[in-house]
Structure formats: C-alpha cells, structure tokens
C-alpha cells in the first residue's frame, strides 16, 4: 500500500545583508541622475559587500541565523543547497558553507550538520534559489523523508560605473527551512508552472571577465555582468507569460479569474518597476481570454491608446515572438509585444492598476526599496519581508494561496503557488528580517567607489559580531602546496 505523502513547504526564513549602504538620492547627486525617476523605477537604497565578505560568508551568516532563530537540530539537516550566480569557486560551493557552519557549531559545543547531508549548488542566474527549493522539496518527498532541508540564496549584484544597472546593485543572503508539515506555507509542485528558452545574450557572465584579476583581502574579484537592459526586460515579460500559461493549463484555470482572486503576489524583483510590469502584462493577456466584461475593460484601454482591439488581441493571442531573432545590435530595443506595451501604459494610469497590481504586491514592497537587486535572494527576501509585514499589521493570510514567480536570465521561469499555514504567525515571528537590516554604514562617494572597485577601506571597518568573515586569501602556487585564491574563513562569536 502506497504511503500517503505529507505536505512539504517552508517553515522558516532568515536573512543577512551587509551593512554598507548607498542612498540612491546621494548616488543621483554623485552621478547627475534624476532622483524622482530613480526612486520611482528603482527604489531608495542598495547594499554593497565589504572587503571581508563574499557570497559564502553571507550565506553562512543567514544559515546560522536560521538555525538559531528556529532552534533547528543540525543533525536533522540532510539537504543543504546554495542558489547563487556569484560563486567564485567552480569546484566547491555549498560544502564551503557547511564547513563554516560546522566550525561555528563545534566552537559552541553544539551538534554539527550530519555527515550524510547532501550539498548541491544550483546555478541559473536569479532562478538558482527557486530550483534549489524545488530540489529540497523533491529530496524530502523521496529519500530524505523525515529530515529537514535548508536552501540558502546568496548573491552580489554589481554593475560597472555608468551602466544602466548601477543603481540596481545589491548584496545579501536568505536562508529557508523546508520540511514536512510546514509551519509557514505549503508548496505543491504539481500546481507550479515552468518555462525556459535560450536567449543568447540578454544577461551573461562569461568567465573571461575574471581573467587577470588579482584576488586578496585588499582586492575582491569584480563580477560585472554582460547585459542588454531593454532586451532583458523583454525576455522577463515573455517568460512570465509562458510560465503562467503552463500553470493555468495544468490546473485548468481561467487566467483572469485566477489573477483577480489573488491577494498576494511575490515576483523576482531586479528593481521596483519590473514585477509591476510583468504582472500587468499577465493581467492584460488574461482580459483577452475573459468574458464580455473583461473584453470591455480591455477594449477601453485599447481605445484610449488609439489601438484597434482586434489588432491587439491578434498580437497577444497568435504572435509568439522568437526573441533569439532580435538578439542583435540593431533589434535589441524592439518590444516583443509592441501593441500590448502601449496598452500597458494606459492601464498603468487606470483605477484598476492599484487594485489588481499594486495592492497585490504591497506586502513587503517598502522594505524591498532598500535592498537593491539580490539576484537569487530577491524573491525569498520579498517573501520574508511580506510575511513580516503581515504579522506586524495583523493581516490575515491563513489558508490563502499566494503566488510566487522566480526568473533567471538566459532564460527560465518558475511560477509556484504556496498555501499559507493556518498557524503561520508563530513561524513568522522568528523571521526577524527587518532586524538584519538595522545596522547600517552609510557610504560617501569616495567610500562607495572604493568598495565598488573591490578595494579594502580601513575607515569602514566595524567590530564583527556573531558572523563569518574572510580571514585571509591564499596566494601560494608551488608544486608541493597550492592555495591560490582560496578563501580562509573565520567565525567571530558574540
């Protein structure tokens, strides 16, 4: 007789962000950019990693906090996964984090993470953390039944000075506890939707970028991506629509009816406007497949935009753009759905926009204005901030379905609905995400430029407390001993 599968999902979330903060209003003054536009499109501030920090130290900090905040027995952890696109070691990954955690636990006389724990690393741009979460759920559902899994998303988003991506930088890590009978939210992967397609050059990180870079405590490796902003936005929107359509088909859902039924949506957020545009396009596409009232609403936006509704519907229903064909210098600024984008601009000014888009994304959105882009950690950070705000404001989420959308450039997307536990508040009390953002060191222009260039800045050092740091970096390359570029870490206790 087949054993009944227990529900699996998220029971806890914890985060770590570095203290070094750049206010975007200051950045606009330094760079002669427009603050009102930057605030509206991007946010308020972003974080930078420090000279003794990397994705591995940030990840270990987040995992250690998760263990402490949720009183996890480390011996029960049989799956520890890292999602990142900022790794600096092409061999070791999650095992580095496990080693750091075990050293700290051992120094405190506590049990260590079990020797039989699996330690995979997942990479697919910003989607790596979502893939890691799916991997943890599958592990617990099969040979890891009865154990717990931890997924940590850790990234450093940095862009060249003067590039369009510069104000969207960020750094941080989010760790999630996954187990049977989850205390925060249940995840049923049968209800999820997936999409993927090769995009050639929307956002890439070829290893040649690392060539000839020095690596020591006074010079971090710089990880500036190769990207094409307008084309990347087009890819994001297109993949959003395809992943949602996959979920609608699997669940036999009427898209517009389902989207209207949602109260809370969390999406991958490289900057403030991107998820709003993505959900708006899904809403407009849904209207074209709805009833007469839905069609009338859609037609009203078309008429205001000076577009024939039939032309727009033909574009949106029958036109499947091949984005690889416009992956060239002369076509990168083309819209995949030009009529729909013009209709979106009208919709954005309508009374429905707040109710159907902004209100559904309200939870945690204010906190996200001060994080910048966290790549793989962006979506779980928003989820953490959302649950924390709902708890603080006594907002009812019990037994409701929230929609989460993960995206990774290159190009892939995952739409995963979650059902909130009836007793979610007890688990949300331990998230403490806002606490992780409390300690800040605000940077002036010179300090920002030094950290941005990966250089150490002695006037920015602070007293480390209960966290992991890079203690030194190896530089030996001999026949009998080699440690060139290897980070040696140290845990500094309370």
Q: Which residues pair with 405 in a beta bridge?
A: 267, 415
Two structure tokens written together for 30: 């330094």
pLDDT at 417: 98
The burial class, CB within 10 Å (0-12 / 13-18 / 19+), for 163 is middle
The pLDDT profile of the chain, 494 residues, written as one tens digit per residue, is: 456 789 999 999 999 999 999 999 999 999 999 999 999 999 999 999 998 999 999 999 999 999 999 999 999 999 999 999 999 898 999 999 999 999 999 999 999 999 999 999 999 999 999 999 999 999 999 999 999 999 999 999 999 999 999 999 999 999 999 999 999 999 999 999 999 998 887 888 887 777 767 767 677 778 888 777 788 888 899 899 999 999 999 999 999 999 999 999 999 999 899 999 999 999 999 999 999 999 999 999 999 999 999 999 998 886 667 777 777 777 777 778 899 999 999 999 999 999 999 999 999 999 999 999 999 999 999 999 999 999 999 999 999 999 999 999 988 999 999 999 999 999 999 999 999 999 999 999 999 999 998 887 778 888 888 999 999 999 899 999 998 889 999 999 98
CA separation for the pair 68, 77 (Å, rounded): 14
Two structure tokens written together for 325: 């064909």
- Range list for CATH 3.40.47.10 in the chain: 8-189+220-226+422-492
CATH 3.40.50.1980 fits 8-189+220-226+422-492, yes or no: no
- Comparing CA positions, the residue from 224, 163, 196 lying closest to residue 323 is 196
User: pTM to 2 decimals?
Assistant: 0.95
pLDDT at 243: 96
Longest dimension (CA), the chain: 77
CA separation for the pair 153, 373 (Å, rounded): 13
Q: Which residues pair with 82 in a beta bridge?
A: 121, 152
Residue found by looking up tokens 């007469």 in the block: 292
CA separation for the pair 122, 376 (Å, rounded): 10
Relative to beta strand 265-267, strand 203-204 is unpaired
Angle (CA) 329 86 277, round 5°:
55
CA separation for the pair 69, 428 (Å, rounded): 11
The burial class, CB within 10 Å (0-12 / 13-18 / 19+), for 189 is middle
pLDDT at 277: 94
pLDDT at 2: 57
pLDDT at 223: 80
CA separation for the pair 344, 166 (Å, rounded): 26
HSE-up (13 A, CA, CB side) for residue 273: 11
DSSP secondary-structure letter at 73?
-
- Alpha helices of 192-291 — where are they, by DSSP H? 229-251, 255-261, 273-287
CA separation for the pair 382, 446 (Å, rounded): 30
Angle (CA) 217 173 28, round 5°:
75
49 neighbors 156 (Cβ within 8 angstroms)? yes
pLDDT at 1: 47
Other CB atoms within 10 Å distance of the CB of residue 330: 7
Reduce the DSSP state of residue 367 to 3 states and report it. helix
Two structure tokens written together for 73: 């027995």
214 φ, ψ (degrees, to nearest 5)? -75, 155
- Comparing CA positions, the residue from 22, 453, 419, 12 lying closest to residue 189 is 419
């Amino acid at each position: 007789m087949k054993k009944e599968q227990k529900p699996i999902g998220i029971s806890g979330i914890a985060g770590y962000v570095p203290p070094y903060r750049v206010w975007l209003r200051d950045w606009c003054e330094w760079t002669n950019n427009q603050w009102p536009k930057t605030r509206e499109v991007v946010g308020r501030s972003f974080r930078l990693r420090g000279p003794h920090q990397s994705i591995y130290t940030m990840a270990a900090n987040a995992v250690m906090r998760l263990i402490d905040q949720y009183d996890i027995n480390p011996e029960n952890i049989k799956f520890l996964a890292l999602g990142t696109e900022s790794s600096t070691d092409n061999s070791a990954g999650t095992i580095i984090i496990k080693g750091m955690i075990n050293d700290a636990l051992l120094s405190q006389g506590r049990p260590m993470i079990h020797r039989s724990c699996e330690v995979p690393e997942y990479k697919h741009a910003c989607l790596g953390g979502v893939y890691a979460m799916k991997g943890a759920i599958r592990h617990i559902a099969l040979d890891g039944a009865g154990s717990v899994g931890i997924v940590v998303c850790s990234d450093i988003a940095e862009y060249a000075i003067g590039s369009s991506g510069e104000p969207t930088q960020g750094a941080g890590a989010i760790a999630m506890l996954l187990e049977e009978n989850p205390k925060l939210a249940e995840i049923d992967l049968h209800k999820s939707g997936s999409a993927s397609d090769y995009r050639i050059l929307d956002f890439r990180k070829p290893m040649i970028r690392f060539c000839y870079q020095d690596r020591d405590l006074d010079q971090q490796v710089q990880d500036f991506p190769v990207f094409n902003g307008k084309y990347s936005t087009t890819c994001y929107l297109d993949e959003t629509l395809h992943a949602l359509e996959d979920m609608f088909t699997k669940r036999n859902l009427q898209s517009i009816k389902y989207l209207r039924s949602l109260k809370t949506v969390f999406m991958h957020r490289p900057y403030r406007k991107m998820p709003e545009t993505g959900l708006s396009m899904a809403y407009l596409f849904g209207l074209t497949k709805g009833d007469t009232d839905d069609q009338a609403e859609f037609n009203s936006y078309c008429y205001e935009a000076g577009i024939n509704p039939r032309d727009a519907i033909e574009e949106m229903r029958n036109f499947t753009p091949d984005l690889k064909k416009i992956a060239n210098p002369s076509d990168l600024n083309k819209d995949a759905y030009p009529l729909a984008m013009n209709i979106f601009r009208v919709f954005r000014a309508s009374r429905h926009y707040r109710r159907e888009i902004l209100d559904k994304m309200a939870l945690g959105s204010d906190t996200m204005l001060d994080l910048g882009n966290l790549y793989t950690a962006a979506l779980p950070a928003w989820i953490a901030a959302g649950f924390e705000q709902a708890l603080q404001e006594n907002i009812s989420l019990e037994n409701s379905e929230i929609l989460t959308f993960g995206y990774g450039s290159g190009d892939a997307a995952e739409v995963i609905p979650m059902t909130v536990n009836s007793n979610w508040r007890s688990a949300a009390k331990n998230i403490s995400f806002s606490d992780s953002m409390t300690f800040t060191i605000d940077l002036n222009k010179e300090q920002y430029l030094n950290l941005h260039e990966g250089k150490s800045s002695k006037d920015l050092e602070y007293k480390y407390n209960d966290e992991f740091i890079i203690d030194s970096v190896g530089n030996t390359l001999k026949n009998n001993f080699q440690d060139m570029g290897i980070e040696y870490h140290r845990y500094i206790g309370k």
